[in-house]
Structure 1
Amino acid sequence: MKKLQNYAHGQWVEGTGDGKTLYNSITGEPIAAATSEGLDFGEMMDYGRRVGGPALRKMTFHERGLMLKALAMHLMKKKKDFYKLSWATGATKPDSWFDIDGGFGNLFANASLRRQFPNESYYVDGEMHNFSQSGQFVGHHIMVPKEGVAIHINAFNFPVWGMLEKCAVNWFAGVPAIVKPATLTSYLTEAVVREIIDSKILPEGALQLIAGSARGIIDHVESQDIVTFTGSASTGKMLKSNPRLIEEAVPFNMEADSLNASVLGEDAAPGTPEFDIFVKEVRKEMTVKAGQKCTAIRRAIVPEKYVDDVRKALTEQLQKTTVGDPNIDGTRMGALAGQEQRTEVREKVNQLLAEQELAYGSLETAELNGADYEKGAFLSPILMVNSDPFNKKACHDVEAFGPVATILPYKNNDEAIKLTRMGKGSLVTSIATADDKTARDFTLGTAAYNGRIMILNRDCAKESTGHGAPLPLLVHGGPGRAGGGEEMGGKRGVFHYMQRTAIQGSPTTLTEVTNQYQYGAKHKDPGKHVFQKHFEELEVGETVFTHKHTVTETDITNFANVSGDNFYAHMDRTSLDGTIFEDRVAHGYFILSKAAGLFVDPKKGPVLLNYGIDNCRFTKPVYPGMTIGVRFTVQEKIENDKLGDENVAKGIVKFMVDIYDEEDETVGLATILTMVKKLDQSAAEQAAKEAENEE
């Protein structure tokens, strides 16, 4: 029988021993054997630290982001092959889309994050803090990649998404990974990893794969490593208690299966769009991936007056859900990942049935579309009703990880909140309601017990991704039973793989360390106006000191006439008693506008446009007779890999606008954002013109 291979220290390695036989969950036929016997986990981790880590840390965020984009585009071309293999896990085409395309989508989403990070290998976090009277002792925070390895121990239900939603983040952060997929469906993960390695898009050492057991790998972790786990709460707790994690203070992120709920609002009566949305979501979460989703709805919390209506509506929908071979037309739900999973789900359902009534389905048989019940790992959808969920509590403690849900009645919104909280922590809870007050009260009442809350109504339903779809730019995780961890979440997820370090010193020194101008640092002479320099020529700290302007009452009156801003403090000297102002005060926006008139160089140059203002503050009143000038400083340079319709290579430059008075005190401070042409584009245009002239 074919053996899956592990990818360790730069080569494909076949484990020793017979390994565990993996079966096609549709036909019951053996697919391959998986074993990791003979692998040296300590050597694999050392290889990741020595080879993969340094290679990734040499890259900037922009380079890593483009790497992820290239990898996503490459894998998309191969996805038909992955779909064929995904079928053996019991997945329908929509199930495979969720797993495979969803995984690639995580690569794309994290690739796009590069625009929120500098073109550096580190990140400057937050704002500078001044700790001295003269402003020459300041502090800041930087974030650098951890110098260890990310170990990802994943669940069987998403062999592609489970790997890529984590790896996309650690690669973008600059950290290599060792992936341990659940053995049951590791054949699909191995196929994707093989394609990733063959593409040579990642630097060597950035990814290693363990196709069999990884028992003992945590014994080799060090303080710079990170461990993530997705799966059952019991396994997660066992791993989390490893003394090595405690000794080395290794971050451990746990995302455990949870008893997620969906609530039908009291206003969502039968016949309303919200009632239909609720029924659709519960049915979908029971049947997509055959209910094998960590976000699946296990508890359908329903006003007691609508229990019979919901039961009837769900039964009708489940009767339309054809179970069978996903390759045969008409099949809407496939199989569980394996017969051992079916056995486990049956055991859990029997525990629940000790307190609950079976409303739909069977544990022993199912009418199948082109498949054999005994050979495959099929199970009928199971819907139950709990008549007394405050006292019959198994539904809040036992999870059957399959196409299983229970209807729970409630009397009012407070009871709905209490029932939701009895799950002791969930990845997600949804509520279908058109009443925004109900939505607000429910959200604030349950947020502490959830990682995500989805509010469904007629306004968002058509565009909603649904109850069970975590999004790369929002956090995924949850408190309590759900594991207490967080992953994804855009920048938040990236920071999980980085070390935040406080740095202190003079603003000039911290400017050099961060490559971002810190207020109060020494200025550099640009030699010529900064608007006449291309993106590559500009240096952080270069400053133009502008001409000065003395503000007059005429300025204030004229600006009021142009802008229509006749606020009393600008126009009526007799109304200033009891205010902070001593005289008519110049409009803040006049001061900023005049500053622009002072710092802008009018001649045509590499600056293409100014497109925004950040962090604008007016810090001191400006009265008639006061004289202002501007210190105009290159604050930060940001790469931009988009050419746009005009096909011009450009970067983004942030300029600090420091407006000061005759006492050298700052009266206004802002950051303007500009697009600046790159030198190479200008050189290319010049070469084209010269060639044209020669012709």
Structure 2
Amino acid sequence: MNKLENFVAGKWITGDGEGQPLYHAVTGEAIARASSKGLDFRSMTSFAREVGNPALRKLTFHERGRMLRALAQHLQQELPHFYEISYQTGATRADSWIDLEGGIGNLFSYASLRRKFPNLPYTVDGESHNLSKGGTFMGTHLLVPKEGVAIHINAFNFPVWGMLEKLAVNWLAGMPAIVKPATVTSFLTEAVVRSIISAGILPEGALQLICGSAGDLLDHVQSQDVVTFTGSAATGLKLKSHPAILRESVPFNMEADSLNCIVLGQDVEPGTADWDVFIKEVRKEMTVKAGQKCTAIRRIFVPEAKLEAAWQSIAGVLQQTTIGNPKNEKVRMGALAGQTQKAELLDQVNKLLAASQLVHGSLDSVELIDADPAKGAFISPLLLVNDQPFRQTASHEVEAFGPVSTIMPYKNAEEAVALSRMGKGSLVSSIVTSDPVLARNYVLGAGPWHGRILVLNQACARESTGHGSPLPLLVHGGPGRAGGGEEMGGIRGVKHYMQRIAVQGSPDMITAITQTYQPGATGRFDRVHPFRKYFEELEVGDQLLTGKRTVTEADIVNFGNLSWDHFYAHTDHTSLEGTLFEKPVAHGYFVLSAAAGLFVDSSAKGPVLLNYGIDELRFVKPVYAGSTIQVRFTCKEKIEQEKKLDTDLPKGIVKWMVEVMDETGEQVAIATILTMVQKRLDEPTK
């Protein structure tokens, strides 16, 4: 029998001893053994910190992002192999798609997110703040990669997605990882990690793998490390309270299985499109991955007058769900991950049945296609009814981790919110309604108790990713029982693996550190106009002080006629009493246009390819006829752009600070404009 290996300090190592046997979820045969006995977990953490961390920290966000993209492209080529192994976990093709291609999709998403960061190993976090009257002292916030290792302890239900959705984030942030998958499905995780390592894309020490027990791994965590956990709330609590984690104040992100719920709005009637959306969503969440999802619907709340119609409709579609060998194209629901998971599920269902009635399915028999119920870990979908949800509370306390849901009645919208809260915190809740008032009240009332809320109806159902699908750019987590943590979430997730620091100093010093020009910093002047410089030649702080222009009444009238903007403040001398203006004021967009006329170099064609847009624009003081304006024009930030095609011009985006001042030296407008600037054709480009 094949024995899984652990990837430790750059080498594949077999654990000592017999190891834990792993079984085929469909046939029941033993397929592998897993052991981490004998591994030196202290050395693993040291290797990650001393080898993997420096290698990743020195890379820029853009380099890390390109690394993720290359890795995702590599894994795509291996998908046929992964699908074949995934079948052994009991997953159908559709189930495996979520796990495999969903996980790879996370790599692609975070690879693209690199564009939201500078081409530096660190980034500015938020706005800068002037801290002095004279403008010589200021502060800002930076995010720098932590100097530790991310330790991921993952659940059995998504052996690939659960790994990649976390790795994508910590790698983009600049931290290495040690992955400890749940042992029962670790054979699939090991296959994917083998492929990752063989690609040679990651720096040494960026990834290590443990197949088997975590041993004393957490004894060796330090303050710069991050620990994440996905699994049961009980196990999560035990890990979260580990003495080393408490002693070292190690960030611990927990995503626990929870009693997620769906609410059928009072406005939805049987036979309508929204009713069909509701029934379809419940069926999908009960049967996809055989209900083995941390986000699956466990509680179903419907108006009491529609309780019977709802459970009969759900039972009807569940009856049509074909169960059996996932390789058979007629099968729509596969097996649980193993007999252990099945035994645990049945134990929890029996607890639920003490206060609920089984209205669909069977605990001891199931009709299968091309599979043996005595060998595989199969079970039919189970639908329960609890008609006294405020008195019989087991439905809000016990989770059966499989194709099991309990339907319960409510009298009014307030009761629906109250019932949703009784789960004491969940990853996700949904409400099916087309009533915006009902939707808003539910979101606000239930929001503090759920990490994500899906408002579902016929308007979005066709393109909705569904109740149970976490997305890379949205946070995945929830309060209370769900763990109180957050995963993914786009930029938010990256910050979890970085240290936020407040940096104080002079504008010149903060400009040098952040590589972003700060107001009040010393500019650099030379005889070459900034628009005559190629991208590589420009430096943050390059500055131009333009000539001057006096605004006339004719300018204001002509701009109004050209733009058709005849707002009274620009044109009517008789309507200004009680307003902010002494006399007709120049259009703000005229002031910006006139400023452009002052700072643009029109002498000849240059490296500036086009105007890319405006990020910020404020008009801070009125400009009247007779005022004289001047512009201080400064290179604020440079953003690398990659060539999409070999034929593309090499180029980057430059942000410019535009400060428009009047004859008194006071600002009348301030903006950040962007230009696309060509790189030199004779220089090597990334």
Question: Normalised by the shorter chain, which TM-score bucket?
Answer: over 0.9
Shift of 1:128: 1.1
| d(CA) in 1 for partners of 2:623, 2:486 | 48
Matches within 5 A, 1:404-553: 404-553=404-553
Q: Is the 8 A contact 1:259 1:298 kept in 2?
A: yes
Matches within 5 A, 1:39-188: 39-188=39-188
| d(CA) in 2 for partners of 1:594, 1:540 | 24
User: What's 1:303 paired with?
Assistant: 303
| d(CA) in 1 for partners of 2:68, 2:269 | 46
| d(CA) in 2 for partners of 1:642, 1:141 | 31
Secondary structure at the residue paired with 1:636? strand
Secondary structure at the residue paired with 2:215? coil
Shift of 1:681: 6.5
| d(CA) in 1 for partners of 2:308, 2:441 | 26
Secondary structure at the residue paired with 1:537? coil
| d(CA) in 2 for partners of 1:680, 1:392 | 73
C-alpha spacing 1:563/1:335, structure 2 compared with 1 (3 Å) = same
Q: Is the 8 A contact 1:156 1:183 kept in 2?
A: yes
User: What's 1:634 paired with?
Assistant: 635
TM-score, normalization by structure 2: 0.98
Q: Is the 8 A contact 1:648 1:681 kept in 2?
A: no
Q: Is the 8 A contact 1:256 1:482 kept in 2?
A: yes
User: What's 1:678 paired with?
Assistant: 679
Q: Is the 8 A contact 1:643 1:650 kept in 2?
A: no
Q: Does 1:349 align with 2:349?
A: yes
User: What's 2:253 paired with?
Assistant: 253
User: What's 1:389 paired with?
Assistant: 389
User: What's 2:624 paired with?
Assistant: 623
Q: Is the 8 A contact 1:92 1:333 kept in 2?
A: yes
| d(CA) in 2 for partners of 1:396, 1:320 | 28
Q: Give the letter aligned to residue 640 of structure 1.
A: Q
Q: Is the 8 A contact 1:179 1:209 kept in 2?
A: yes
Q: Give the letter aligned to residue 228 of structure 2.
A: T
Shift of 1:418: 0.7
Secondary structure at the residue paired with 2:427? coil
Deviations 1:340-391 (A, max 9, x none): 0000000000000010000111111101111111111111110000111011
Shift of 1:666: 1.3
Q: Give the letter aligned to residue 107 of structure 1.
A: L
| d(CA) in 2 for partners of 1:306, 1:515 | 61
Secondary structure at the residue paired with 1:520? coil
| d(CA) in 1 for partners of 2:620, 2:646 | 40
| d(CA) in 2 for partners of 1:195, 1:646 | 32
Q: Does 1:37 align with 2:60?
A: no
Shift of 1:683: 9.0
Q: Give the letter aligned to residue 622 of structure 2.
A: P
C-alpha spacing 1:513/1:390, structure 2 compared with 1 (3 Å) = same
User: What's 1:691 paired with?
Assistant: none
| d(CA) in 2 for partners of 1:464, 1:661 | 52
Shift of 1:526: 4.2
Shift of 1:266: 0.9
Deviations 1:210-260 (A, max 9, x none): 001003211101010000000000000000011211111110000000000
Q: Give the letter aligned to residue 609 of structure 2.
A: L
Q: Give the letter aligned to residue 302 of structure 1.
A: V
Shift of 1:527: 3.5
User: What's 1:215 paired with?
Assistant: 215
Q: Give the letter aligned to residue 291 of structure 1.
A: G
Q: Give the letter aligned to residue 466 of structure 2.
A: G
Matches within 5 A, 1:236-251: 236-251=236-251
Shift of 1:583: 2.6
Cα RMSD, aligned residues only: 1.2
Secondary structure at the residue paired with 2:355? coil
Q: Does 1:377 align with 2:377?
A: yes
| d(CA) in 2 for partners of 1:306, 1:67 | 53
User: What's 2:358 paired with?
Assistant: 358
Q: Give the letter aligned to residue 248 of structure 1.
A: E
Shift of 1:643: 3.7
Secondary structure at the residue paired with 1:42? helix
Shift of 1:580: 2.6
Q: Give the letter aligned to residue 320 of structure 1.
A: Q
C-alpha spacing 1:76/1:205, structure 2 compared with 1 (3 Å) = same
For this pair of structures, how many residues does the alignment match? 684
Unaligned runs of 5+ in 1: 685-695
Shift of 1:262: 0.7
User: What's 2:262 paired with?
Assistant: 262
Shift of 1:329: 2.4
Matches within 5 A, 1:263-278: 263-278=263-278
Q: Give the letter aligned to residue 189 of structure 2.
A: T
Shift of 1:469: 0.4
Q: Give the letter aligned to residue 42 of structure 1.
A: R
Q: Is the 8 A contact 1:657 1:671 kept in 2?
A: yes
Q: Is the 8 A contact 1:643 1:649 kept in 2?
A: no
| d(CA) in 1 for partners of 2:140, 2:535 | 26
| d(CA) in 2 for partners of 1:450, 1:364 | 34
Shift of 1:644: 6.2
Q: Does 1:605 align with 2:573?
A: no
Q: Is the 8 A contact 1:65 1:112 kept in 2?
A: yes
Q: Is the 8 A contact 1:106 1:472 kept in 2?
A: yes
| d(CA) in 2 for partners of 1:555, 1:337 | 75
User: What's 1:693 paired with?
Assistant: none
Shift of 1:426: 0.7
| d(CA) in 1 for partners of 2:90, 2:260 | 23
User: What's 2:324 paired with?
Assistant: 324
User: What's 2:21 paired with?
Assistant: 21
| d(CA) in 2 for partners of 1:592, 1:646 | 35
| d(CA) in 1 for partners of 2:38, 2:412 | 59
| d(CA) in 2 for partners of 1:526, 1:447 | 56
Shift of 1:614: 1.2
C-alpha spacing 1:526/1:117, structure 2 compared with 1 (3 Å) = farther
| d(CA) in 2 for partners of 1:569, 1:285 | 58
User: What's 1:564 paired with?
Assistant: 564
User: What's 2:400 paired with?
Assistant: 400
Greater CA drift, 438-447 or 172-181:
438-447
Q: Give the letter aligned to residue 42 of structure 2.
A: G
| d(CA) in 2 for partners of 1:77, 1:276 | 38
Shift of 1:646: 6.7
| d(CA) in 2 for partners of 1:3, 1:527 | 70
Greater CA drift, 538-547 or 103-112:
538-547
C-alpha spacing 1:85/1:643, structure 2 compared with 1 (3 Å) = closer
| d(CA) in 2 for partners of 1:682, 1:68 | 26
**What stretches of structure 1 move > 6 A for 4+ residues in a row?**
681-684
Q: Does 1:337 align with 2:330?
A: no
Q: Give the letter aligned to residue 379 of structure 2.
A: L
| d(CA) in 2 for partners of 1:645, 1:297 | 48
Greater CA drift, 1-10 or 578-587:
578-587
Matches within 5 A, 1:276-287: 276-287=276-287
Q: Give the letter aligned to residue 455 of structure 1.
A: V
User: What's 1:669 paired with?
Assistant: 670
Q: Give the letter aligned to residue 69 of structure 1.
A: R
| d(CA) in 1 for partners of 2:533, 2:302 | 65
Unaligned runs of 5+ in 2: none
| d(CA) in 1 for partners of 2:646, 2:448 | 46
Q: Give the letter aligned to residue 623 of structure 2.
A: V
| d(CA) in 2 for partners of 1:470, 1:176 | 23
Q: Is the 8 A contact 1:649 1:681 kept in 2?
A: no
User: What's 1:692 paired with?
Assistant: none
Shift of 1:581: 2.2
Shift of 1:30: 0.5
| d(CA) in 2 for partners of 1:683, 1:533 | 17
User: What's 2:554 paired with?
Assistant: 554
User: What's 1:205 paired with?
Assistant: 205
